[in-house]
Structure 1
Amino acid sequence: MNPVILFILGVVFVAIGVAASIALHELGHLVPAKLFKVRVTKYMIGFGPTLWSRKKGETEYGFKAIPLGGFVAMIGMYPPNTQDGSVRPSSTGMFQTLATEARSAAHEEVGPGDENRVFYKLPVWKKIIIMLGGPAMNLLVGLVLTAVLLMGFGAATATTTIADVSKCQVAAGETVDPDSEACKPTPAAASGLLPGDRVTSFDGKAVTSWEEMTSWIRASSGREVQMTVERDGASVTTTVTPVLSARPIIGVDGRPEKDADGKAKYQEVGFLGIGAQTEMVPQPASTVLPLAGENIRQVAGVILNLPARVVGVAQAAFSEEPRDPNGPISVVGVGRVAGEVAAMEEIPVQARLGALVGLLAGLNFALAVFNLVPLLPLDGGHVAGALYEGVRRRVAKIFGKPDPGAFDIAKLLPLTYVVASALLAMSALLIYADIVKPVNIFG
């Protein structure tokens, strides 16, 4: 199939997946809100002008023009104004006016019989469940997609078949022309090993996995050993002598370890110069949670260092510096990566589909973790407000003071606007960077 068509299909696949992830996130808020009898007036995917909507019961469902999120509108998100509900004079201050207007807007649709269906009157635990419903849904989706990836498509696993044989011994970070006199043959090339050979024994020991054989090779530098392979149905035995070479240290996550300066760590070990063929092998259910946990850990690490990473993106976008492949990217960047994966015709279709599913799983974990940041307007900010309300009421009860009532989260609107503006600016920067200097994941 045409690579351009494959690229477009990959982008469309992820675009639909992103829309579905946002819709399910908002569904995670909608369902408990309705279960707790809060009146939900709108369930919208996107922001800005409404493209399509339909009202069912008391809720309007629809899509908006800017597909960068979604929202569920519930009546009475803030306690009412203490006076008659009218906007106070501007002399009280801009921030006070903003809070007053927000309270008024939150109660515009409160009608007869809705007095006990407003959000602010809910017990603290119900508020927390509603607000955690969105991130919880994304976590669930991420887990399901991870299970589909590992148990359905499988994980790329090294076989005992040789995929490639390096012609020259090359020091880390250097290149050598294979046809030049500077090319010193690797032990594998010198012994006549060929791509497609299936290794059956090494140093008299039966080879059952590539990882096991790799450990034997690394421990055999400078020692001549026999190696047997199966080639075109026949058994071929040759002699190899692994050479001592600096090779990257691979961590438990399968990635090269790095030092404090971000440079790859190396160690001197035995080296032959062969690479393994891989195949997609379905994994047991026991592998799902560890991989999901590692994915969440990596996302949390990016978010904890988000300000510094965004500065790095800005520096790269407006200079000759390269983008950090492990840094944040926008939905535009995600779409581009998906398109590149889909267009890699040298990779089996199963592996490409698995990679796209894994991309969506990671995206859902990112949505879940990011929305738990305890800042408004994110879900974590509302959870923090509810927890503060619970603590305040409990302290008042312990000291025999009157119940202070629901916490007026509208007082935090100035902070909300600051955070929202920062998020919009960050999104614009990431989109710009993903257009002018996209992340180079595949080298």
Structure 2
Amino acid sequence: MTVLLYTLGVLFFVLAILVSIGLHELGHLVPARAFGGKVTQYFVGFGPTVWSKQVGETEYGVKAVPLGGYVKIVGMLPPGADDLAEPAGHDELGRPVHRVRKSNTGMFTQLISDARAAEWELVGPEDTDRLFYRMAWWKKVIVMAGGPTVNIAIALAIFATIFATYGNPADQRTVGTQIAEVSACVLPYDESDRACEAADPTAPAAEAGLRPGDVVTSFNGTEVTDWPQLQGLIRDNSSGAAELTWTRDGEPMSGTTDTTVQARPGTGEDVDPARLTEVGFLGVSPVVEPTTGGLVYTLGEMGEMTVQTAEALVMLPARVFDVGQAILGLEERDPESPVSVVGGGRIAGETASTDLIPGTDKLVFLFLLVAGFNFFIGALNLVPLLPLDGGHIAGALYEAGRRGVARLRRRPDPGYADVAKMLPVAYVVAGALLVMGVVLIIGDIVVPLSAFPD
């Protein structure tokens, strides 16, 4: 049964990611067609074609490696300035037809020239008014932003639904002054995960007779109504006796401790006594539940996620390097390190098959995992570097700005932005993303992260 649940968890995650990729590409295809663009291919995956079908002018299909997808929009790269200046001929309506030279001098110019040539091999005279580079800048922005917008919309829909019903597991709130757990003893704070031993002093809460489920009503004569208030009273009572009242199953009860002891300092070598603060310790933890909220709450949480994701993207190369170090056995893998879709599938499988959490919580976690991946994919694709969608968006905005400045200065129209000149950068970025993806996949196989670490 465990193996079956694990497999179902992995399949759920993989299918959800494939659907997300497909919807991402639809986010490009639909507006491109709406604006008159010509889309010749729509594929989910990369590598060898597993299945495809021609429908009209577009070939739809699935490829063998499900790590992305693409749509082919004709005319993404404009011809070079020299080619535009000298048309190779005219079509039947008298419009100029431009061809692109297949050779040039210099490594980068050769690369750009070859890319233009490959792009324009599929362009016919009838496509002149349907080329992507000829679209208005705002249409280009909508087409290229459509994909990542779909991913972010998927994340928003999942987050909003879960936060409004189940609540946000990452934003826990206390439930009044109800007790969830009572410590049996007082442990050094850096040994809190070990069992109590005979030499460990009894926790004051256990001494007073408190049990899980009790609701504390007063502390040393002060009525308490919420956990932060109770926590403050406990912390400030580091050397005095504690008199408590509480209710258990609706019945009022009371108890006394000789003292609320100070939490003992840690015993590890890395403990810095100068940074420790001695506070009162009772030995109770509160009942908590996920905070619920509507669309405004969800948007606020996603705003914080945006900041965190931006920071993660900046640090991504360094964190992937650390994963590489872990693969080589030079250091332990950070539990907070990034994971690939392989790692995501593993975490989904472990979540689905564990007995540590109930079924509803499993389903919530799986959907949140899918939402998190969609949000990250959307944010990554908005980075303003080719070959990412954000690179094309940046090119369109640059074109709009340059033309706007020319109009204000009453200068001639500078024409379309030539994103082909950024192809060397695109190849470097693509190579870096490929290397980081491979490192993360290897890391998720060799030094995998677990959904439930020991």
TM-score, normalising length from structure 1? 0.87
Distance in 1 (CA, whole Å) between partners of 2:56 and 2:221 is 75
Instruction: Please name the residue that 1:145 is paired with.
Output: 158
Instruction: Please name the residue that 1:222 is paired with.
Output: 239
Instruction: Please name the residue that 2:140 is paired with.
Output: 127
| Cα deviation, residue 200, structure 1 | 4.4
Q: How does 1:282-321 map to 2 (within 5 A)?
A: 282-321=292-331
Q: Which amino acid aligns with 2:63?
A: K
Which moved further from structure 2: 297-306 or 20-29?
Answer: 20-29
Deviations 1:375-413 (A, max 9, x none): 110111111222222233334444444323212222222
| Cα deviation, residue 211, structure 1 | 4.2
| Cα deviation, residue 425, structure 1 | 0.6
Instruction: Please name the residue that 2:438 is paired with.
Output: 428
| Cα deviation, residue 421, structure 1 | 1.1
Instruction: Please name the residue that 1:113 is paired with.
Output: 126
| Cα deviation, residue 150, structure 1 | 0.7
| Cα deviation, residue 231, structure 1 | 3.5
Q: How does 1:239-388 map to 2 (within 5 A)?
A: 239-240=256-257, 241-245=259-263, 267-279=277-289, 282-388=292-398
Distance in 1 (CA, whole Å) between partners of 2:245 and 2:356 is 29
Distance in 1 (CA, whole Å) between partners of 2:32 and 2:123 is 16
What SS does structure 2 have at the residue aligned with 1:31?
helix
Which moved further from structure 2: 226-235 or 19-28?
Answer: 226-235
In 1, are the aligned partners of 2:185 and 2:196 still within 8 Å (CA)? Answer: no
In 2, are the aligned partners of 1:77 and 1:119 still within 8 Å (CA)? Answer: yes
Which moved further from structure 2: 292-301 or 151-160?
Answer: 151-160
| Cα deviation, residue 225, structure 1 | 3.1
Distance in 2 (CA, whole Å) between partners of 1:189 and 1:388 is 67
In 2, are the aligned partners of 1:154 and 1:354 still within 8 Å (CA)? Answer: no
Distance in 2 (CA, whole Å) between partners of 1:128 and 1:177 is 56
| Cα deviation, residue 335, structure 1 | 1.5
Distance in 2 (CA, whole Å) between partners of 1:243 and 1:321 is 38
Q: How does 1:185-200 map to 2 (within 5 A)?
A: 185-200=202-217
Deviations 1:206-243 (A, max 9, x none): 55544443333333333333333444564332224433
Distance in 2 (CA, whole Å) between partners of 1:136 and 1:246 is 51
Which moved further from structure 2: 309-318 or 224-233?
Answer: 224-233
Number of residue pairs matched? 425
What SS does structure 2 have at the residue aligned with 1:236?
strand
Deviations 1:46-82 (A, max 9, x none): 1111222233332222211111111111011111351
| Cα deviation, residue 17, structure 1 | 1.8
Matched, 1:13 2:12: yes
Matched, 1:45 2:44: yes
In 2, are the aligned partners of 1:280 and 1:351 still within 8 Å (CA)? Answer: no
What SS does structure 1 have at the residue aligned with 2:420?
helix
Instruction: Please name the residue that 1:238 is paired with.
Output: 255
Give the direction of change, closer, same or farther, for the CA distance of 1:74–1:178 in structure 2 (3 Å limit). closer
Instruction: Please name the residue that 1:259 is paired with.
Output: none
In 2, are the aligned partners of 1:397 and 1:403 still within 8 Å (CA)? Answer: yes
What SS does structure 2 have at the residue aligned with 1:238?
strand
Give the direction of change, closer, same or farther, for the CA distance of 1:179–1:75 in structure 2 (3 Å limit). closer
In 2, are the aligned partners of 1:168 and 1:178 still within 8 Å (CA)? Answer: no
Deviations 1:321-365 (A, max 9, x none): 222222221111112222222233232222222222222222122
Give the direction of change, closer, same or farther, for the CA distance of 1:208–1:179 in structure 2 (3 Å limit). closer
| Cα deviation, residue 138, structure 1 | 1.7
CA RMSD, 1 decimal: 2.7
In 1, are the aligned partners of 2:187 and 2:196 still within 8 Å (CA)? Answer: no
Deviations 1:25-50 (A, max 9, x none): 22221222112111111121111112
Instruction: Please name the residue that 2:102 is paired with.
Output: 88
Where does the alignment leave 5 or more consecutive residues of structure 1 unmatched?
Answer: 249-264
Instruction: Please name the residue that 2:91 is paired with.
Output: none
Distance in 1 (CA, whole Å) between partners of 2:352 and 2:225 is 32
Instruction: Please name the residue that 1:260 is paired with.
Output: none
Give the direction of change, closer, same or farther, for the CA distance of 1:379–1:176 in structure 2 (3 Å limit). closer
| Cα deviation, residue 105, structure 1 | 2.7
Give the direction of change, closer, same or farther, for the CA distance of 1:36–1:225 in structure 2 (3 Å limit). same
Deviations 1:241-280 (A, max 9, x none): 43333799xxxxxxxxxxxxxxxx8644322222234445
Instruction: Please name the residue that 1:168 is paired with.
Output: 185
What SS does structure 1 have at the residue aligned with 2:191?
coil
Distance in 2 (CA, whole Å) between partners of 1:149 and 1:226 is 41
Q: Which amino acid aligns with 2:304?
A: E
Where does the alignment leave 5 or more consecutive residues of structure 2 unmatched?
Answer: 89-98, 267-274
Distance in 1 (CA, whole Å) between partners of 2:277 and 2:4 is 43
Instruction: Please name the residue that 1:252 is paired with.
Output: none
Distance in 1 (CA, whole Å) between partners of 2:265 and 2:302 is 29
Matched, 1:27 2:29: no
Q: Which amino acid aligns with 2:261?
A: V
Which moved further from structure 2: 65-74 or 17-26?
Answer: 17-26
Deviations 1:111-147 (A, max 9, x none): 3532111101011111112111122222221111111
Distance in 2 (CA, whole Å) between partners of 1:302 and 1:25 is 22
